[in-house]
Amino acid sequence: MANLKEGDKAPVFKGKDQHGKTVSLTDLKGKRVVLYFYPKDMTPGCTAQACNLRDNYSTLTKKGYEVIGVSTDSEQSHLKFIEKYELPFTLLADDDHKIVNQYGVWGEKQMMGRTYDGIHRTTFLINEKGVIDHIIKKPDTKNHTEEILERWK
């Protein structure tokens, strides 16, 4: 598991989006990338986070931010999630756990006394040069855009 910190070069990821198209950090060079990792499509917290980003998407794009979500759900699951909630941004299917491992967000979690492996909700703000400017651990799902704008002016 990677132990990334602010100021590190962001790992170059490559994954399939909801349409099966390959998306890579290399393709986004020169853009500011909001790379957010979330546990599962259609769950309450993940839906709140995605809808918060959707509702503020025009503000983020006006500032030049590219929003990309990553979970271990399938392309088909992402497509349903996007269609149901009219999400305007890309979701990457990381079913082989390559991206979550590169970014160190996969690991042991606990909920209701049960221990299991899963994604730790985390957002990486990557600048135009591919460097991690900020890491938001345990983002506030209902106010995530505000957290991003607060840290990245």
Residues taking part in catalysis = 46
Tokens found for residue 96:
């082989």
* Pairing label, strands 65-71, 90-93: parallel
Distance CA 50, CA 110 (A): 23
Strand residues in 1-153 grouped as ranges (E)? 14-17, 22-24, 32-37, 65-71, 90-93, 106-111, 114-119, 122-126, 132-137
The CA–CA distances, whole Å, from 143 to 8, 32, 48, 53, 54 equal 26, 20, 9, 9, 12
Using CA atoms, how far apart are residues 105 and 59, in angstroms rounded to an integer?
Answer: 27
